[in-house]
Structure 1
């Protein structure tokens, strides 16, 4: 009999960055549902991988004196190493530089072209290289800044192949409305419906401005752009177009799990491409939220992107897996805090689960010399506990169908509490005082151990190493995934008579103050090192002398319309008056600046900000989120050279 199939994917991660906690979050989530489905008897295909083409990689490689492929190879290994540390059980790791992927992407392009959905035209717009995205003028912030990363964009005009995405607008809307599970959670669904109803534009799907990509078949001046290249990985990994593909049986995917920032690509671009190809759409796209760190947005510029390798080294792999899935409902934004992590480890893992195991096995050692007792004298309290175990399996199944990982863990920990309460209520230490209660004592400890056996199955998808350690201490030798889950999850399955394994604490308590102090100390060392590194980046005197700094007196100041941070200044530089647009509106009211003499970079190339010409830069010190301009004494005349 063929097993039912289950196919889950992470996004493919871009190799212009190192893995951070957000990448780990998505991948651990997919690993948990994969492990659970395997336990439940499914034939699972779990895909992850890397997106390796594009202008950013080409430019970064040039700067490092490497080929793009060499750069990609070095970063890809970091992802593979991290997934190994995190116990990720993926079936396949796809790279967009794989020959089989390139072949599939070109086949996708050809078939869409043959269906009349790809045509050649010209694209003109404001292009952000870091985001590899074109923006319209109305979408830009503060002049020509990208609304996503806030860096400056460049106006480009180039020939491009386009995908006739607008053709599929009504068909896509109908599919979303008829399939409520297609986009999860529901709030994201409403957001995408609103976007589609605004009207879909045709999509630019090739570039001529760089070479690092898959060539357009028949027109190699163009490379196929990320929308087709990256998204195609979900079927190229299955060798979809090969007639004898064994893997094609997994399509359509049960879940594409993505961050909310790439939801539109997966729920609009990808399904319309599949419609063009005549291929079934994935069953569900689930968008999870973002992590902040100690209340701040995680970013390279803030230097607070947490390295999962470091976390694993400090706290262990299973505590990190548990925390990521327990702390925040999957789909909402979450905040990573060391205090919250330590609290979860001490409270949930050490006190609740760890103590349950230690106290139960400790009494088995004390009262039965480590021999596993038998179930002999039933009581209603035992029956109630067995019913709780059965209900917990049902609840976990229900929650994991919706990827509600934190709800599943809450249900599991309610069982942990029920088992601890069962021991407190039955009081085996009191039963042990009277030989006539020995059969009941055996029953109580057997029931507790069988409950822990059930817990080991329930936590296995979340914390596989911990589950195996618990089973070793219970002297259970059968591998978890080699047996029938339906058999394993029944109550009273523990074999009596054997010896328990070596009893060791699985989650030692952590000293919060000591750990927080150590982290602060390490951060201070890193900060000092970074400052020292920066200090040695010297320029020569001739280079410095190319910068012309003059004293300028601010004679007028006003807010720039539609901008929160820009002020328009009129500055007297002695021989001339210039207009300067300065990003200091959150630190100064316009009237505060009039009459001040400030330092101005006078030979900066003019630039347009919010449609206004800026002819210089006012120097200011950044203090947190505030700015303080460098004020000069009144006796310094406008136009005075500052050396």
Structure 2
């Protein structure tokens, strides 16, 4: 797989494979172009004032939670819309409420009812246990199929759905009531089964939240390898493993506190007016400094049939301009004309000749016409 941004598709889908082929290197079998992260349905950009600095988020929520949000909320190949409230909602719901709550439930009950030692299951499993065991057995196959298809958001949704199923399993079987009634055999089966699901989820989440995944697995007493081969085992965390009560894996995020911590650098100025695609403001227009220039002399560029070398008076100084006008004008036709010049462009080299500005011309696809002023204004006059 070759994963790229959608705005550089030609470079990576045309030129890059040609280079690989020329070097006799295997080309990618599949090229995935991911979308943009948008803010308020707009593409991010420094000029728009809506760019998000990920380093600020890293300091406040950590790399694991940021990675989870980015993968969970973007469909590969489509644009995704960022908002701080959406980030907080996603992380609190998926990680704090669902996964974090399930981990706390299981580890607390194993500690309370079995002195922190994972019990072995016993007796015949009931229908709810069989249903959860079926989810556990098929979980890694379903997740890996989505990963192969680059449907990463769906892979995380499958994992989250399994956690919700496990929480529901706990609600239905009510281990606390089993403990109260002294039904330790079924209590052991419930906690053992729930622990196996958490372990499998922990291994599958490792590429997304590597640090928290390791913390989760350590809590469950799993010290084995984190690999695909480990997922095929019937029992991931064996009986008699030491279960510990961890501090909260995913403390809930508070939106207002997070806004204060991040400061103005992360906030989007919603009051800024939105402009349709391609529309610029008057301030953006006047970033280009347009002045009247008079062509003092013109000549053909040696060894460049399409170029003319112009000496242009812009009032304060003379500028050398290089223009691709040789097909449309002779040097004599241009001399003396008063034209429109972009005077604040960075100098550029064109076929070895320095150009310190650019003249404006109209092009309808058939002919080119230099823009001129129709009255006798002096060189250097501002155009506005």
TM-score (norm 2): 0.68
For 2:138, the equivalent position in structure 1 comes to: 391
1:608 aligns with: 360
Q: Is the 8 A contact 1:581 1:614 kept in 2?
A: no
1:366 corresponds to 2:112: yes
Q: Matches of 1:519 and 1:618 in 2, distance apart?
A: 43
d(CA) in 1 for partners of 2:191 and 2:158? 23
Match of residue 57 from structure 1? none
More RCO (CA 8 Å, sep 6+): 2
Aligned-partner Cα distance in 2 for 1:614–1:389: 76
Q: Identify the range of structure 1 (488-497 vs 451-460) with the bigger mean alpha-carbon deviation.
A: 488-497
Question: 1:433 aligns to what?
Answer: 180
The counterpart of 1:509, out of the listed 231, 243, 252, is 252
Shift of 1:303: 4.0
**CA positional deviation for 1:294:** 3.9
Partner SS for 2:371: strand
Q: How far apart in 2 are the matches of 1:499 and 1:292?
A: 45
Gaps of 5+ in 1: 1-254, 525-546, 549-577, 583-604, 620-643
Residue deviations 1:554-593, cap 9 Å, x none? Answer: xxxxxxxxxxxxxxxxxxxxxxxx99899xxxxxxxxxxx
> Residues 416, 275 of structure 1: CA spacing in aligned structure 2 closer, same or farther, 3 A cutoff?
same
Q: Aligned to 2:3, what secondary structure does the other structure show? A: strand
Of 339, 345, 349, the residue aligned with 2:91 is 345
Query: In 2, Cα distance between the equivalents of 1:386 and 1:523?
Result: 44
Q: What does residue range 469-484 of structure 1 map to in structure 2 within 5 Å?
A: 469-481=215-227
Q: Are 1:301 and 2:53 matched, yes or no?
A: no
2:126 is matched with 379
Instruction: Please give the alpha-carbon distance, in whole angstroms, between the structure 2 residues aligned to 1:349 and 1:267.
Output: 37
Task: Confirm or deny that 1:411 pairs with 2:152.
Answer: no
Shift of 1:513: 2.1
- 1:290 touches 1:333 (CA, 8 Å); kept in 2? yes
| CA 1:460–1:523: 2 relative to 1, 3 Å | closer
Q: Residue 310 of structure 1: CA displacement?
A: 1.8
- Tell me the secondary structure at the aligned position of residue 2 of structure 2: strand
| Residue matched to 1:45 | none
Q: Does 1:494 align with 2:233?
A: no
Deviations 1:334-375 (A, max 9, x none): 122111111111111100110010111111122222221211
CA distance in 2, matches of 1:609, 1:509: 59
Runs of 5+ in structure 2 lacking a partner? Answer: 268-289, 292-337, 343-356, 364-369, 374-380
TM-score (norm 1): 0.42
Give the corresponding residue for 2:13: 267
User: Cα offset for 1:499?
Assistant: 2.5
CA deviation string 1:514-560 (max 9, x = no partner): 22244344568xxxxxxxxxxxxxxxxxxxxxx99xxxxxxxxxxxx
More strand by share: 1
Q: What is the CA–CA distance in structure 2 between the aligned matches of 1:372 and 1:469, rounded to whole Å?
A: 17
Per the alignment, in what secondary structure is the counterpart of residue 465 of structure 1? helix
**Secondary structure of the equivalent of 1:301?**
helix
Instruction: Specify whether residues 470 and 278 from structure 1 end up closer, same or farther in structure 2 by C-alpha distance, changes over 3 A only.
Output: closer
Conserved? CA contact 2:39–2:81, under 8 Å: yes
Could you say if the C-alpha distance between residues 608 and 486 of structure 1 is closer, same or farther in structure 2, counting changes exceeding 3 Å?
Answer: same
- Tell me the alpha carbon deviations over residues 6-58 of structure 1, each in whole angstroms, 9 at most, x when there is no partner: xxxxxxxxxxxxxxxxxxxxxxxxxxxxxxxxxxxxxxxxxxxxxxxxxxxxx
Do the aligned partners of residues 426 and 453 (structure 1) sit closer, same or farther apart at CA in structure 2, a change above 3 Å counting? Answer: same
Shift in Å at residue 500 of structure 1? 1.2
Q: CA deviation at 1:288?
A: 0.8
The equivalent residue for 1:93 is: none
Structure 2 CA distance for aligned equivalents of residues 522 and 271 of structure 1: 40
1:221-370 aligned at under 5 Å gives the runs 255-276=1-22, 279-370=25-116
From the superposition, tell whether residues 302 and 275 of structure 1 become closer, same or farther in structure 2 (CA, over 3 Å): same
